[in-house]
Structure 1
């Protein structure tokens, strides 16, 4: 028995900004038929073995704070765009959060304590704003692996505050090891699966590349009787966009808009028609639409690129 999804989550990962948002920042989402946005307030930790999670600080951008998160959610809601609140950790210098790992038991306990305060504070925000989905963590593989009992307890604590649906954003090569899917409502995957080694992958190549993953992903939906949610998905407009889609380095490689378009089309074609697939959140969308992306940009954002029309057409179907 697999869950049947009637309406898709057609989402964007809405990047926090130093300013509040207004209708002019929301209209571009309506233009691509988006019905969801992931709101992503960040907490900072100094290193991969630092146990102190610092959040809602004065020096942080408005969109990363409790007040800012509420403002974003409530402004989007006025245009019938729902939110997934997705509080995340940022390690100094941008190191990968999946490698966060403490060296002592005391440090593990301090990390648990400070992470809980961070997550429970935003669980309260999600409850106060009637946000439909709350994401309890993003790509924290070593933390989850080392402290499974903590995560089970944390989910119980979140449930005591927040009455909506829960997910966790597991990295593409992590979700099979995540131990607490039974406690959540969606199996969340950051879908940076490698699907093609070509410089400019074709749609057909990417469809073939997805075949080795799709059945396994579906099997997890069946196993836990939970829909699959791509908590992040997307590709850079760059050569070899399907080879290692998680790559975020600053190398100014050649812009390849066709590669981004084809990889995105193949992902939509593979998943959006499936009853067990809930939808997902494209990575990533900035609030000042007219000033970002464009034909000379090789980053992830689809804004002001050909792929934006692909997303608009797909999101318009559901």
Structure 2
């Protein structure tokens, strides 16, 4: 089935949505413990058919060439053994996988600004990053994971080191034979140079939609139109479908203004704004033949302990947005059946 989807998506971008099974995914956050059935059941309950499993590499600064990964000092779910266990547990429950290695910079600095200051530092960092990516590409092959993501929001790195990325894609293809993407930030994807060598145009879809405190459906939909037109154009030109490698909104006022914000601000909780923005995104994209689906940001293992009516963070868990997602993903499942 995977090969059929691949042909439909990359060669016949205009194929009917009835033949193109959407990725209805969650971004499954790593934890210090093994995944058990009680952690997977909420994923099944929301009717997700994919989960992004996200091992991490860590660096101390945007200019540091050191990258630590698969270390005993990391949480179980951030290491190779944990990623493998999460994948196996998801597969036992019929959930497909995108393996999505990511970098965390100390104090949450933006990875798009990661930049080495000397050629020697670039070489050192590239050697470490290649080892990081190939470790998990090999695991993705061994576990027969469906999609592998070669990087997330690394704008400067991608722009300044094109030869490295060209060689990395070739090396990943040698060890992994599934579908490949890259998770470009919303403001970098249009200029990412290597889409023709990947299977999906991956976009972290935190597009600014409006300035309103409590935006209406109409306002949010209007805000999407220029971004949607550009996404469609890029998909057509590159002859590849768009995949939202991340999408989501915080449950707070002004949720459509700067959806990428991860600061711990005290903006008032607005559960309905999150639900409304999520529904508009589904309405705008899920019926489009050039759109492959996406992974909601973000989904924690300890379902009963997160989210809720006093939380203004991204997770939709235990909020009205969870019901919106369940309804959409359920419709997709019924269509497939």
TM-score (norm 2): 0.93
Partners of 1:53 and 1:158 lie apart in 2 by 19
Cα distance, 1:17 vs. partner? 0.2
Q: For 1:90, what is the secondary structure of its paired residue?
A: strand
Alpha-carbon RMSD across the aligned residues, in angstroms, is 0.8
**Equivalent of 2:218, from 204, 207, 212?**
204
Residue in 1 aligned with 2:9? none
Do the aligned partners of 1:235 and 1:260 also contact (CA within 8 Å) in 2? Answer: yes
Gapped runs of 5+ residues in structure 1? none
Partners of 2:323 and 2:194 lie apart in 1 by 37
Give CA deviations for 1:156-181 in whole Å, capped at 9, x if unaligned.
Answer: 00000000000000000000110000
Partners of 1:2 and 1:224 lie apart in 2 by 10
Residue in 2 aligned with 1:20? 34
Residue in 1 aligned with 2:124? 110
Partners of 1:125 and 1:158 lie apart in 2 by 11
Q: For 1:316, what is the secondary structure of its paired residue?
A: helix
Cα distance, 1:262 vs. partner? 1.0
**Equivalent of 1:305, from 319, 326, 334?**
319
CA 1:55–1:3: 2 relative to 1, 3 Å: farther
Partners of 2:298 and 2:118 lie apart in 1 by 36
**Equivalent of 2:43, from 18, 29, 46?**
29
Partners of 1:68 and 1:140 lie apart in 2 by 24
Partners of 1:60 and 1:111 lie apart in 2 by 19
Q: For 1:34, what is the secondary structure of its paired residue?
A: coil
Residue in 2 aligned with 1:216? 230
Partners of 2:210 and 2:281 lie apart in 1 by 12
Cα distance, 1:270 vs. partner? 0.5
Q: For 2:150, what is the secondary structure of its paired residue?
A: strand
Partners of 1:35 and 1:202 lie apart in 2 by 29
**Equivalent of 1:120, from 134, 158, 173?**
134
Do the aligned partners of 1:3 and 1:226 also contact (CA within 8 Å) in 2? Answer: no
Partners of 2:272 and 2:314 lie apart in 1 by 13
Partners of 1:130 and 1:29 lie apart in 2 by 20
Q: For 1:240, what is the secondary structure of its paired residue?
A: coil
Give CA deviations for 1:130-182 in whole Å, capped at 9, x if unaligned.
Answer: 00000000000000000011100000000000000000000000001100000
Give CA deviations for 1:252-274 in whole Å, capped at 9, x if unaligned.
Answer: 22100111011111110000000
Q: For 1:215, what is the secondary structure of its paired residue?
A: helix
Do the aligned partners of 1:33 and 1:312 also contact (CA within 8 Å) in 2? Answer: yes
Residue in 2 aligned with 1:134? 148
Q: For 2:140, what is the secondary structure of its paired residue?
A: helix
Partners of 1:281 and 1:70 lie apart in 2 by 19
**Equivalent of 1:157, from 142, 165, 171?**
171
Verify: 1:183 aligned to 2:197, yes or no.
Answer: yes
Verify: 1:2 aligned to 2:13, yes or no.
Answer: yes
Partners of 1:204 and 1:266 lie apart in 2 by 9
Residue in 1 aligned with 2:308? 294
